[in-house]
Chains A and B, each alone.
Chain A
Amino acid sequence: MDLRFTPEELAFREEVQTFFRENLPPSIHTKLLESKKLAKDDIVSWQRILNKKGWAVANWPVEWGGTGWTPVQQYIFQEELQLTPAPQPLGFGVTMVGPVMIAFGSEAQKKRYLPRIANLDDWWCQGFSEPGSGSDLASLRTAAKREGDYFIVNGQKTWTTLAQHADWIFCLVRTDPQAKKQEGISFLLIDMNTPGITVRPIITIEGGHEVNEVFFDDVKVPAENLVGEQNKGWDYAKYLLGRERTGIARVGLSKERLRRIRELASMERDGDRPLIEDERFREKLATVEVELKALEITQLRVVAAERHRTDNKPDPASSILKLKGSEIQQATTELLMEVVGPYALPYQPEREDEERWNEPPIGPEWAGPVAPTYFNWRKTSIYGGTNEIQKNIVAKAILGL
């Protein structure tokens, strides 16, 4: 047992850091450091830089452009993205629909879509949730009826993240209304430019536009866009949701946030001394640091165990990554609220949006995104399966209750 990284692993980290330092555009880096919103172009141009290097789809099999890295290398790469910080390659393509196509798609689908996912030529979004089907996803009702060489799709998806940028949406649709609810679902790829699709923004509590409603009104989808077999979509969705084991904890992101909190709390004054010297504040900070350290080791345990995995049984430790990871991320946003204090108050959305950014800031330069981030980050215990649903899954799959 040796919890230190090997010299080879450290050299790899060095290589990743150097590449990021030399190739990440400074404007993107600054936005992330200051928790400002990225424009679509920022995400696209960075993913293309990664793709040129061969790192955009690091987790894929080598024959489809993956790197063949060990689990530890994958982990280091992910962590460096978060620590730098640099944008993550777009998850909907790289960690969701891409791997599903690789596992279950046709050769034609792989050839057509995978290279475009890697280069972010196509922006994908995820059409699973519906107004009546959130946690109980299998109750979904958006219908796809086979007519000749097409499926005719009618219904509504909701909470669709960044659908406003999307070229394609991968959807769970009901193809057999008679069957048991999990057995009548198919996995369908839909071009967002098809007539009959309407996208409407949903504005979230902090004022941002991340999520959307997507309506389907007699949308004609070529039958060749079905992934795998008809009515097997639920299995593919489970595969997709179960794959992301280690990225979800986002330890690197929380580390970077804590670094920033220390930096800002050393600058902010509380009476005649910096806030960082306040004992109670330091205890809270230390509390989160302890939890994060523990989670980091837990995550490394899961990563290290990957190479011994033979079956698909999840490591008991992996189940806690999303639960603890989301709580810790949320705790860091609360600490930042405490650092900014009364200047959490001013609502200045235009400062999030570079194009319209010409007014001087109200309060400290960095205050603008603090409260919005706190509000927005409540989502991490809701999306991707709520924390309550995660506990249901752990109770059943791991504890056998």
Chain B
Amino acid sequence: MAETRDPVLQIEDLSVAYVTNTGLVHAVSDVNLTVHRGEIVGLVGESGSGKSTMAYTIMRLLRGDAVVTKGRVRVLGQDVYALSEKELRAFRWSKMSMVFQSAMSALNPVMTVETQIVDTILAHRPDLSRQAARERAKELLDLVRIDQKHLQSYPHELSGGMRQRVVIAIAIALNPALVIMDEPTTALDVVVQRSILDEIRRIQEQVGFAILFVSHDFSLVAELASRVAIMYAGRIVELTPSHLLKLSERHHPYTEGLLKAIPQLTADEVTIQGIGGYPPDLQDLPPGCAFHPRCPYAMDVCKRVRPSQVLAGEKVLECHLFNEAEVNAHV
């Protein structure tokens, strides 16, 4: 299905913190992001940058020690946090669903594939008959291209790639408008990973749901998504159309650092350059721009003032190098 400008997910000014005995961990700060119907948006960032926290926040699956301190999450226009528990249960999975980071353990080892799919369907759509749910399970296996004979298989009888396909089948069982995929292929070999990605792309085109695709693999996300959000220390520091993710374009210094850090397989010249230093402690964020201790372009102002969001052509950036007036003069 073609992408339209119809928003499926709207995140507004979202901040999330974990309450610990040593203080607040600011896992997500001031995030704004919209995903449209049928669109694939990538969310990349290093370990601990807040990607999974954001995913769980959207699904309203945060555990007790996490609090949404600010902002709003709307899915299909509905404020997810305004739903009653009962409404939420019906909303989750039928409107939005998630493929979890530890997908291998997301399956119940003592239940057959069919039972897991059928139970998920019935848990969220008690109005359906068991027979209808079974039919749907068959359709779903066809969709992810697993032989129907595996309906009776147990997870350990499947390869890693097949298990991942089952997990995806369960996520799309009720035709949600939004599927959040948290590192769905990280544990897989590169060839299996590629075939799963092809599968995701194919099913997505066929069925038309929107995807928020979370990963730490920059090149993979750039290939799959139409836009990519780059997260650093809980903030989206850049939001860019994938086709502009290259070094010939101007980027946030962190994005630029990531682009330079990846060895290219087919480029003529292979030089790489890491980013000095290490990501900050989210309990004790540096003042001003959180990236300043690692930024080769850091200026005085960066240590004092947090940069605000600037629209630069098709990119949204948080960096003092991109000054609103100057940028817009170029556009």
Please indicate whether A and B come from the same complex rather than being unrelated chains: no
